[in-house]
Structure 1
Amino acid sequence: MKKMKNYIGQFHPIVWVLLIGTVLTRGSAFMTLPFLSIYLSRNMDLSPIIIGLTVGMSPLMGTVGGFIGGHLSDRFGRKPIMLTALFTLAFVYYGFTIANGQGWFILLNAINGLCSSFFEPTSQALMADLTDKKKRMKVYSLRYTAINIGASVGPLLGAYLANSSAKLSFAITGSTYLLYGIVLYILMKKLVISKDETNKKVVSLIDAFSIIKLDKALRYLIIGSILINIGYVQMDSNLPQVLEGTLENGVAVFSVLLTINAVMVVFLQLPISHLAGRFSLLQAMAAGSVFTAAGLIGFSFINGWVIAILAMILLTIGEILIFPSNSMMMDELAPEHMRGTYFGAGQFRKIGNFLGPIMGGYLLSHFQGQIMFWVIAILSLGSIIFFIAGNRMYLSNRVNRTEKTV
């Protein structure tokens, strides 16, 4: 009992609310958004292009919105940005239940992407604000575990509701966001968040853009992350097509692989992150790049269950090593008064989520699955070059700052 108390006590109560809220909201979102295209095709007379545009609006808006939302949280405080985003997201999902035209779905999903991208970097920045620097890596690992718990449970409920009452799933998700916002509002009102209340130095959005432009270390980190995302997104975009064309039971194999991925992240995130803590962030991220590339190459040799599972295990280890380390590296780079802006800038890595399916699809259609995975694996390995360059630039900047203060 005492150990549990000490474990809970190591983090601010709001950090725990954010982690629990992440499980619930991500689970709810994964219960609805993956099935949005199915809902639209069944209930609306829309072409595949319009459905693709509707679904794609969310990540498209999220790519740019993260930077703006993160900056606004630095300028006006975490609280108003987070609460506004949560209550607007509740409105969006309630809106899905009554929307009856393609324009409404496009607009609502665009707002969904924008608000989600406002909330994500701001919540990460708030977690960092409220957590001792030595414990932040653990917080980022817990957050990533929370995301994957939601991702592993949500689709199962979504698959059931998609066949019974899709509108109910939208209403449940809207209610989850609404409840999350109310609880967070009450807690933030009761508990003093000193670091958030005393924002030291404020910069304009134009200044923020110029600072990001001048920070080469950040730029290298984002480019490296884009390359990793190009590789990782193949799991959702082109791997299912390859499996369906290669194996007789490709769909069944793919569903099992997704389950293995989610379960591994939930149970191995903390142990692997603890082990990676013995090494530098650069070493952890470089190792993650190697595992990701190895997983992709493994997919190119799939001829049955065994190789498919081994490849997914390698890819998942890479995922576990890279994504929390990436958040920690972003935290290291960010000046105190621009933490939200930097976490927001990290959302530009989602460019890889946009480019990956297109590049992989082109290679798959003009060559074959094996060539596609090899080329994408080499691109993923290329991230190491940018991670090393970014790390060197960061260390150089830190030495220069130290010399100036001395």
Structure 2
Amino acid sequence: MRPRLPGAFWMIIIAMIIARTAFFVESFLTIFMKSEAGFSSALAAFIMGLYGFGGAAAAFSSGPLIDRLGPRIPLLVSLLATAAAAVVLALGPPNWSLALIVLAFGLVGQVIQPASNAYIAQLVPDSRRREAYSWSFIALNSGLAIGPLLGGYLAGVDFSLMFGTGATLIVIGALFAAAAKPARQHGLGAATARPLEPARPMASMRELLRDRVFVEYTGLNWLFMVLYLQVFVILPLLMLGDGLTAQDYGILMGVNGTALVLLQLPFDRAIRRFTTGRLLTVAVVLLVCGLLVNRLADALWLYLLAAAFWTSAELINMPLATTVSSVLAPPHLRGSYLAVHGMAFPLGMGVASLIGGSAFALLGDPKLIWLVLAGIGAVLTVLRFRMEGRLQARLAGAPPSASADPE
């Protein structure tokens, strides 16, 4: 009989749903900078790069911290600090100080995901971890289904109201996370919720960097996120350029989130017969199809058609990517591995913002950037395909030193 998912896990899931609903704060930042602060599309995209690179630095440095303290304290501090940044947005003027606030959002907000992933890995036995991360992904996208619709409505009323509502939701999520008190940890000290022998930060990173399979796998996942995260950077700006509104973008992202919630578990069951490596390759192919349809889109229904492709890619890639990282990680370095994995979102956002800003600054038709991104996606497809065998060998239990050698 399989072990039950513990009550503390479900408290974390509830916290993630509520906090993720408030993600509209980040989702509408580019629109806020363009429509309220009067920034150009290129400048708004470049400033979002601060969010990404700040978040990447925070995610990277948080790994050893999570390994030493356990994930609970970093998770709570990150949630409360993110709420404070949203309050500053609600009360402050829309001027150049936005750049600093966006940077602060990245620095504090991107600790949430690696900390919650490490917490789940503590709470859930190995035999249920893939299911647990699927539930985690459903929780994130339940918030994403509700958040953009709520955010689009609130933005139409008043952006300060939108930011204030986001801050309130994040605090409520933090309260649920604080109530998640595990009775037992898996692979960690039961009493302390910490690793039995926490490694020093530099030693952790040196050991991680020697794991060639993980490093290559993570680098390719980062590249996937650079392509995918254009839906948060240049997509809303291009939709505004096509005469659509913030509410239309909210509808698009709400449909995306709803599809993810409804389809994640059945999708996961349907694809279990395929190998993990092959599924990760297929995810890139679907994403490339979505990017190509974006090139043609000029109406909401066409953007929804494109979303069908990149949502399918998301259904495959996101839960699998986290599961793979947690399986590859030795227990005493799980926080570091998941933090480096968690850098995919903020680092991808930073690079995506630079690409998006350059497209608006340099291209006569910024929609041509979708063709460039699709070309990068084609290269990524080949690279993931070539890695399938080594990744499967490692997941099947081959020792890191053997499976990490180049072919």
Q: TM-score range by the shorter chain?
A: 0.7 to 0.9
For 1:181 and 1:253, how far apart are their aligned partners in 2? Answer: 30
Q: Residue 199 of structure 2: which of 185, 203, 216 is its match?
A: 203
Shift of 1:171: 2.5
Shift of 1:255: 6.5
Structure 2 unmatched runs, 5+: 403-407
Q: Which moved more, 1:148-157 or 1:41-50?
A: 41-50
Shift of 1:93: 2.3
The number of equivalent residue pairs is: 394
For 1:305 and 1:33, how far apart are their aligned partners in 2? Answer: 22
Shift of 1:27: 0.9
Letter in 1 for 2:196: K
Residue matched to 1:280: 275
For 2:193 and 2:383, how far apart are their aligned partners in 1? Answer: 37
For 2:374 and 2:260, how far apart are their aligned partners in 1? Answer: 25
Shift of 1:88: 2.0
Distance 1:65 1:373, change over 3 A: closer
Instruction: Give the secondary structure class of the aligned counterpart of 1:197.
Output: coil
Letter in 2 for 1:26: R
Residue matched to 2:11: 17
Residue matched to 2:256: 261
For 1:97 and 1:359, how far apart are their aligned partners in 2? Answer: 28
The one of the two structures with greater contact order (alpha-carbon pairs below 8 A, sep at least 6) is 2
Shift of 1:327: 0.5
Shift of 1:337: 1.0
Distance 1:343 1:390, change over 3 A: farther
Shift of 1:396: 9.3
Residue matched to 1:3: none
Structure 1 unmatched runs, 5+: 1-5
Instruction: Give the TM-score normalised by structure 2.
Output: 0.82
Q: Which moved more, 1:148-157 or 1:107-116?
A: 107-116
Say yes or no: does 1:217 pair with 2:217. no
Say yes or no: does 1:313 pair with 2:296. no
Whether contact under 8 Å (1:67, 1:343) holds in the other structure is: no
For 1:200 and 1:311, how far apart are their aligned partners in 2? Answer: 47
Whether contact under 8 Å (2:48, 2:233) holds in the other structure is: no
Which structure has the highest helix share of the two?
A: 1
Q: Percent identical across equivalent pairs?
A: 20
Deviation string for 1:14-55 (max 9, x for gaps)? 21111111111111231x233335545666577777755654
Deviation string for 1:142-184 (max 9, x for gaps)? 2112222212221222222223333233232222222332333
Say yes or no: does 1:375 pair with 2:375. yes
Residue matched to 1:349: 344
For 1:378 and 1:34, how far apart are their aligned partners in 2? Answer: 27
Find the structure with the greater CA-based Rg: 1
Q: Which moved more, 1:149-158 or 1:231-240?
A: 231-240
Residue matched to 1:394: 394
Shift of 1:331: 0.8
Q: How does 1:208-247 map to 2 (within 5 A)?
A: 208-238=204-234
Whether contact under 8 Å (1:216, 1:393) holds in the other structure is: no
Whether contact under 8 Å (1:230, 1:380) holds in the other structure is: no
Residue matched to 1:125: 118
Q: How does 1:1-400 map to 2 (within 5 A)?
A: 10-30=4-24, 32-39=25-32, 52=45, 54-100=47-93, 102=95, 105-188=98-181, 191=183, 195=190, 197-238=193-234, 257-300=252-295, 309-350=304-345, 351-359=347-355, 365=363, 368=368, 371-372=371-372, 374-385=374-385, 387-388=387-388, 391=391, 394=394, 398-399=398-399
Distance 1:373 1:75, change over 3 A: closer
Whether contact under 8 Å (1:26, 1:151) holds in the other structure is: yes
Whether contact under 8 Å (2:52, 2:348) holds in the other structure is: no
Distance 1:377 1:21, change over 3 A: same
- CA RMSD across the alignment: 3.7
Q: Which moved more, 1:286-295 or 1:254-263?
A: 254-263
